[in-house]
Amino acid sequence: MSPFEHGEVFVTDDGAETDLDLGHYERFTGVAARHSDSVSSGRIYSNVLEKERRGDYLGKTIQVIPHVTNEIKDFISIGEDEVDFMLCEIGGTIGDIEGLPFFEAIRQFSQEKPRGECIFMHLTLLPFIKASGELKTKPTQHSVKELRSIGIAPDILVCRSEGPIPVKEREKLALFCNVRPESVIAAQDLKSIYEAPLAYHKEGLDQAVLDAFNIAPAPKPDLNVWEDVADRVYNPEGEVNVAIVGKYTQLEDAYKSIAEALTHGGLANRVKVNVEWVDAETYDKKIQPQNCKVSMQYWYLEVSVNEVQKEKLKLLSLQEKIMFLI
């Protein structure tokens, strides 16, 4: 997978190369990701073709329904007897042709389960028009309409937005999307992803899930750890600066594990970590001295100087630049 397109590859404990999202899921849930936790369309179709060539389908015509959808359902069912709750994320956008077999598969999957044992949660976008100061709900309404047309009715709407959802828009979404007002959850922009559990609890997402499953009564969640993390994020006792040289610095997600490790180290020591990403190719073109130690001093110190010093550096020769920085 290209680091420029997908970011860093996340490798699970059993050696599977997956999308970096699994890394976040592992960190937040504390459950180690496995090879069976991620699948792509290519792998699904490859499995179907292999089964056909082995003769598993007894020469029958291979179709999206039931062969591809059954393969998807079989994958979803892996390990379901080992857990109490299973989260299944279908990536992409409603209406995309490549996602249709997956949506049909989860529709069938829910039909095969007893009533109340499967719920659908739809993540959608509420664009904010600054010129008019309006929060638009039409894209969400049409998205839900598209879902309902293929037999899937969302139980909970998680709405990405820049700020809180006004009561009027929340009631409008509940009315036209056929969900309860308390099941319309605002997923507001946050300064730190580690504030998300607290924000979702404040919005009532956990209670909405319990209500959808008819689980009552339920103990109050202990969020002391997350409150401590949020306090460390927003109230650091110091700052440190770190420069990182890399080839794929145009996309920060290409070095997500390094960025997260620095963030976690900062939280543990109650300091804010300021990261300066340095494109290695830029410095390969600027300077190629034989002395690697001098080269390291050159790039590290140059990214640390202020704008006034940078103007002075432009007028100096290579040797003078190194002496100036040292």
Q: How many CA atoms lie within 13 A of 126 on its CB side?
A: 26
Q: Are residues 271 and 179 in the same domain?
A: no
CA neighbor of 67 nearest in space, from 56, 76, 77, 82: 56
Residue 315 located in a structural domain: yes
Q: Among residues 216, 235, 254, which one ends one of the domains? A: 235
pLDDT value of residue 247: 82
CATH number, domain at 212? 3.40.50.300
Per-10-residue mean pLDDT of the chain, 326 residues long, equals 72 83 84 86 92 90 92 91 89 88 95 92 92 89 94 95 91 94 93 92 94 89 93 92 84 84 91 87 58 45 48 50 42
Tell me, yes or no, whether 227 and 245 share the same domain: no
Number of folded domains that form the chain: 2
Per-residue tokens: 280:
């290695």
What is the helix (H) or strand (E) element at residue 78, kind and residue range?
none
Backbone angle region of 212, left / alpha / beta, with phi > 0 → left and psi within -120 to 50 → alpha: alpha
Residue 36's nearest CA partner among 56, 16, 7 is 16
Strand pairing category for 156-161 and 184-188: parallel
Do residues 166 and 224 share a domain?
A: yes
231 plus 134 within the same structural domain: yes
Range of 296's domain?
236-325
Query: Rounded to whole angstroms, how far apart are CA atoms 172 and 111?
Result: 28
For 61, residues 6+ apart whose C-beta sits below 8 A from its C-beta are none
Residues 230 and 247 in one domain: no
pLDDT for 236:
92
C-beta contacts of 227-234 below 8 A and 24+ residues apart: 227/198, 229/194, 229/267, 230/192, 230/194, 230/195, 230/198, 232/267, 232/270, 233/191, 233/192, 233/194, 233/195, 233/267, 234/191, 234/192
pLDDT at 121: 96
- Provide the Cα torsion 307, 308, 309, 312; round to 10°: 120
Co-location of 209 and 170 in the same domain: yes
DSSP 58: T
Helix orientation angle between 224-234 and 196-203, rounded to the nearest 10 degrees: 120
CB 244, CB 258: distance < 8 Å: yes
Q: Are residues 228 and 124 in the same domain?
A: yes
Which among 235, 253, 279 is the end of a domain?
A: 235
* Model confidence pLDDT, tens digit, residues 10-38: 888 888 888 888 888 888 888 888 888 88
pLDDT value for 314: 53
Q: Are residues 215 and 289 in the same domain?
A: no
